[in-house]
Structure 1
Amino acid sequence: MPEPVVVAVDQGTTGTTVCVLDRDARVVGRAHADVAASYPRPGWVEQDPERLWRGVVDTVAAALAAGGRRATDIGAVGITNQRETTVLWDRRTGEPVHPAIVWQDRRTAAACEKLAAAGHGPAVAERTGLVLDPYFSGTKIAWILDADPELRRRAGRGELAFGTVDSWLVWRLTGGRRHVTDVTNASRTMLLDLATATWSAPMAELLDVPAELLAEVRPSSEVYAETDPAAFLGVAVPVAAAVGDQQAALFAQACVEAGQAKNTYGTGSFVLLNTGPTPPPPSREGALLRTVAFQLAGEPAHYALEGAVLATGAAVQWLRDGLGVIGSAAETAGLAASLDGNDGVYFVPALAGLGAPHWDARARGTLVGLTRGTGRAHLARAVLESIAYRTRDIAVAMSATGTPVTELRADGGAAANPWLMQFQADILGVPVDVPDNLETTALGSGYLAGLATGFFPDRAALAALRRTATRYEPRMPTAERDRLYADWLRALDRSRGWSRD
């Protein structure tokens, strides 16, 4: 009889990846499917919740087949997901009542500015750990309800449910039996009281979100229910983990103790620093987010400081699809390396505004320093450099809290770019450590599901499985590092000028 396996689902912004893990946490089957988005207006980003759900089921089936496994071999399912993306559905039919509003969507910028102008920013930061920004779910929920008064009436009657993507998937996997969300995803809604890890009635009132919409908040690693065979490949197996994608990567990178940090380079980039079992104090002017890192069943939650860069891989995609400058992301390393320097060309990737530590929703992407001699290589290098500069912006803010980043553990697609990783180490002045498996978001959900079901023995055993593939040591002289970063800050100021005009 085949050994059981854990199915780790990573439902991301641009694709769904499923990894099948054996008891040694080795990936024995894998599949990936792209995820489409629509852009109905400038600044709006939407997805079809039904396509997200069907894509997960189909990709699980493909991953099992790739590993020569069957659905009956599944010992547990773990989910990690794009976090702030907002789904509302009918509790009776399970049908979505509106397209999912993706975390990148900026349509509620004016609502956030109105709340900030009314003086609510400090209270929001103190209670939730977040800033007033359209990135988060709360104002997205309110927008959907305000756009259709009948939906607001139905929400108040308890007929509708809200969830981030984890909650939506658990609902569908369990045939609608469980409406739950894990504490890490809940902490991204602007509706959770960070200190108590429970929904905040004052925040729900402030954002005009009916409490009847909200799911039960549970630990990241716990058996929530079994799958409904009619919905999921004909089997009833434990759904045993849900965790936001960035927190999943933190866990898989073995950043499970206070002071350890990672950066996931995906559509955006996200630097998380584990701060331990006590919520960290607010950072200066809300520069960094405070969020839940993970929670195991029966244990207190761990917390983290987070800095979010809203467009990094998306900027490389723009070079490829928007401008046609490159044919593939892999070309950027060679193009960047073909130059001895950047020749004063800087790109600010504010394609969806600026995230941490600036939080300027009206900033715009900016390219400066162009001359007649500027070519493809300069553009590719400027985009890669911008990813590293934005990471340093966040590291500087973390150092200001009294917890400097002394090593950065890197994962995600761009961590495979050797030129970028070396430049990242150079511009930070600290080592960058890249693991042998870059799909840490999927691994994190699988690890947490395996812990909940006894498939994996304990957290220490999983941490020992992390192996370094490449370690990049800084080699740039300090004076050059500081000169480049000073020029970057001047370019950054140009991008923010749009919001002041």
Structure 2
Amino acid sequence: MTRPSLAIGVDVGSTNVKVVAVSADGSLLAHQQRSLASDERPPVCEQDPEQIWEAVLEGVAACVAEVAPAPAGPAPTVAIGVASQYSSTVPVRADGAPTGPVVMWGDRRGTDACRRLLATPGNFELWVERHGIPPIGGGLSLGHVLHLIAEDPHGDSRFVEVMDYVTARLTGRVTATRHTMFTTQLCDNRSAAAWAAGDASQPDTANATTAALRYDPELLAASGIDPARLPELVAPDRPVGEVTPEVAARLGVAARSTVATGINDTAAAALATGAAAQRDGTQLDADHGDAARLGVDSDDAVDLDDGAPQTGVIAGLAIGTTAVLVTSAPGKAEDLDHEILSMPAPDGGYLVMAENGLGGRVPEAFLALLDGAGAGAAGQFAEAEVALASTEPGAGGVLCLPWLAGSMAPAGSDTARGGLVGVSLATTRSQLIRATFEGVGHNLAWLLRHVEAFIGETIVELRLTGGGAEVAGWPQVIADVVNRPVRVVADPSVAVARAAALRALAQVSDRSAAPAESASPEPVLSSNPETRAVYDGHQRAFEATFEALGPVWNLLSSS
């Protein structure tokens, strides 16, 4: 295998495709972005897979042309890694070409089929024991697959996640891993595979590795899904293959360039922030003066021990369209009451899956309603940055409820909806804007203590990535509301793509997949103790409002 001269990372999100070129030493050389459109007609939520593919081709070709212009010499040999949104299903032919639209994570059409599975005695226990999540639908890929099979019961399309769709188009080989197929809910996740351990000769690790390369027979039987409609499961620690000659010519790379197995964007955020490196029990000593006390109960308010060094773990926080909290998990576990569970990490071990719901989409949506400068306008979020700088914590008593598309962890509700509470005649436009950013922070603060209870550790620092990290003032708001130190990673808006690139490089070399110098040179943002009184009070009001409005949301959804 020819050693690559650079790595390409692709991040297919819900609203755009980001591509980076990274040198062999991990330096960011170039980056590109292409927008994506969605067709949102509840319960339908779809994307055009050809638009995704064209965006990938254009972005990669532009990065390669910037780093290695064609007249300068032969086409470079590259390693390509792909991360993407997940629980978004693409039906494909044997060569990876799509046969229908992407059924996105917001699509609910398979929920009824999942509920029929759930009504069968023993299925709830079977799925929780083997996989971790019962067959509940609600946008998970199992529901998508059941829906697509019902629409075309005699078809021969295979159903893959977006990252595996892109690797299939690059290589002509349709594959997946236990990690990428997590939300299809057809794999046994009870044992960690031996990829990271490197010793599959031992009986326990050999059995776990074998289980990770097949779909669980009992889950397949219970679901009624023919495994021929699913992609081949492969080991995640070696490349899927080489780019096809046709694709190589379009990208401007050598045909011997390799394509790594894909990962979901939550796992990529764990790599980008360093949260994945803790899987073997590594802990972080923090001396920032505002780490929470050890042993916090998930239903207690956070108690601080200012000035005292604490030992705990870091967590990655990715804020893009959604907000996701990720850290290492000690093993397979689930907290179904709060929708927190562990999922297989791409290369061994487990990660916490804690999807908090909409993140950056919340202020973006409210800004659009207020006729302000939305995320797509010139001077992205410019008005919001001014509002954050010019208003006091607490937004003049206004609370934003961020559940514009329902709530997820730590309290799932399909009927929950957003709003602004506490608006008075004295409320200013800037206070309304500030409240939308604080509302996302309050939702994260609510989730964080349940994640701490789940892993049995205190989270002593948040490493922030995603486009939300680039909104001036928002990282400090998060530090204050969540009451944890926040460190912004380098190049946060492309950190997921960069992590995918470095992981691809690691699959064909001896280097680590961990991003070099992932932390920003900016200092850690400590929470401001002067904000505690207002934010602690608002946190209690935030959670109480969710509980109080439950019956109202149910009435509205049924009317």
State whether TM-score is above 0.5: yes
Give the structure 2 partner of residue 298 of structure 1: none
Cα distance, 1:475 vs. partner?
Answer: 1.3
Give the match's secondary structure for 1:389.
Answer: helix
Distance verdict in 2 for CA 1:493–1:468, change over 3 Å: farther
Q: Is the 8 A contact 2:272 2:518 kept in 1?
A: no
Distance verdict in 2 for CA 1:465–1:48, change over 3 Å: closer
Cα distance, 1:426 vs. partner?
Answer: 1.6
Does residue 337 (structure 1) correspond to residue 340 (structure 2)? The answer is: no
Give the structure 2 partner of residue 348 of structure 1: 401
Q: Deviations over 1:171-208 (max 9, x none)?
A: 1111x3x2211332112322222124342333334444
Does residue 49 (structure 1) correspond to residue 49 (structure 2)? The answer is: yes
Give the structure 1 partner of residue 24 of structure 2: 23
Distance verdict in 2 for CA 1:491–1:410, change over 3 Å: same
Give the match's secondary structure for 2:249.
Answer: coil
Give the structure 1 partner of residue 207 of structure 2: none
Distance verdict in 2 for CA 1:90–1:399, change over 3 Å: same
Does residue 288 (structure 1) correspond to residue 308 (structure 2)? The answer is: no
**Cα separation, 2, equivalents of 1:419 and 1:474:** 13
Deviates more, 1:15-24 or 1:255-264: 255-264
Q: Is the 8 A contact 2:367 2:433 kept in 1?
A: no
Q: Deviations over 1:41-86 (max 9, x none)?
A: 2342110111111211111111112334458213211111111111
Q: Is the 8 A contact 2:7 2:21 kept in 1?
A: yes
Give the structure 2 partner of residue 186 of structure 1: 181
**Cα separation, 1, equivalents of 2:453 and 2:499:** 29
Give the structure 2 partner of residue 58 of structure 1: 58
Q: Is the 8 A contact 1:347 1:382 kept in 2?
A: yes
Give the match's secondary structure for 2:146.
Answer: helix
* Matched letter for residue 84 of structure 1: S
Cα distance, 1:457 vs. partner?
Answer: 2.1
Q: TM-score, normalised by structure 1?
A: 0.89
Q: Is the 8 A contact 1:253 1:409 kept in 2?
A: yes
Give the structure 2 partner of residue 203 of structure 1: 219
Give the structure 1 partner of residue 442 of structure 2: 389
Distance verdict in 2 for CA 1:346–1:107, change over 3 Å: farther
Q: Deviations over 1:367-423 (max 9, x none)?
A: 222222333223211210111111112211112222221111111011123422112
Q: Is the 8 A contact 1:29 1:66 kept in 2?
A: yes
Residues 39-438 of structure 1: matches in 2 within 5 Å? 39=40, 41-70=41-70, 72-91=75-94, 94-112=96-114, 120-130=123-133, 132-146=136-150, 148=151, 151-154=152-155, 159-174=156-171, 176=172, 178-195=173-190, 196-197=211-212, 198-233=214-249, 235-236=254-255, 237-255=257-275, 256-258=277-279, 259-276=313-330, 279-283=331-335, 285=337, 287-295=339-347, 301-327=348-374, 328-340=380-392, 341-401=394-454, 402-438=456-492
* Matched letter for residue 238 of structure 1: T
Distance verdict in 2 for CA 1:219–1:20, change over 3 Å: same
Q: Is the 8 A contact 1:130 1:286 kept in 2?
A: no
Cα distance, 1:309 vs. partner?
Answer: 2.0
**Cα separation, 1, equivalents of 2:513 and 2:84:** 21
**Cα separation, 1, equivalents of 2:366 and 2:551:** 23
Q: Is the 8 A contact 1:366 1:494 kept in 2?
A: no
Give the match's secondary structure for 1:353.
Answer: coil
**Cα separation, 2, equivalents of 1:57 and 1:467:** 30
Give the match's secondary structure for 1:305.
Answer: strand
Give the structure 2 partner of residue 474 of structure 1: 527
How high is the sequence identity, in percent, across the aligned residues? Answer: 24
Does residue 442 (structure 1) correspond to residue 497 (structure 2)? The answer is: yes
Give the match's secondary structure for 2:405.
Answer: coil
Distance verdict in 2 for CA 1:367–1:201, change over 3 Å: farther
* Matched letter for residue 189 of structure 2: L
Distance verdict in 2 for CA 1:204–1:381, change over 3 Å: farther
**Cα separation, 1, equivalents of 2:105 and 2:409:** 15
Q: Is the 8 A contact 2:272 2:499 kept in 1?
A: yes
Cα distance, 1:143 vs. partner?
Answer: 1.2
Which of 442, 447, 451 lines up with 2:506 in the alignment? 451
Deviates more, 1:159-168 or 1:97-106: 97-106
* Matched letter for residue 50 of structure 1: E
The runs of 5 or more residues in structure 1 that have no matched partner are: 296-300
Give the structure 1 partner of residue 9 of structure 2: 8
Distance verdict in 2 for CA 1:145–1:490, change over 3 Å: same
**Cα separation, 1, equivalents of 2:368 and 2:533:** 36
Give the structure 2 partner of residue 36 of structure 1: 37
**Cα separation, 2, equivalents of 1:81 and 1:189:** 15
Q: Deviations over 1:9-49 (max 9, x none)?
A: 1111111111001112111121111011112x234211011
Deviates more, 1:429-438 or 1:120-129: 120-129
**Cα separation, 1, equivalents of 2:37 and 2:395:** 34
The runs of 5 or more residues in structure 2 that have no matched partner are: 191-210, 280-312, 375-379
**Cα separation, 2, equivalents of 1:141 and 1:284:** 22
**Cα separation, 2, equivalents of 1:7 and 1:68:** 12
Q: Deviations over 1:208-248 (max 9, x none)?
A: 43211111223444211111111333542111241111101
Q: Deviations over 1:108-128 (max 9, x none)?
A: 444455555667545433322
**Cα separation, 1, equivalents of 2:84 and 2:343:** 16
Q: Is the 8 A contact 1:170 1:239 kept in 2?
A: yes
Cα distance, 1:459 vs. partner?
Answer: 4.7
Give the match's secondary structure for 1:152.
Answer: coil
Q: Is the 8 A contact 2:39 2:47 kept in 1?
A: yes
Name the count of aligned residue pairs: 480
Give the match's secondary structure for 1:406.
Answer: strand
RMSD, aligned CA: 2.5
Q: Is the 8 A contact 2:269 2:499 kept in 1?
A: yes
The higher radius of gyration belongs to 2
**Cα separation, 1, equivalents of 2:428 and 2:117:** 44
Q: Deviations over 1:116-174 (max 9, x none)?
A: 5667545433322335242311101111222x2xx2112xxxx2211001221121111
Q: Is the 8 A contact 1:264 1:412 kept in 2?
A: yes
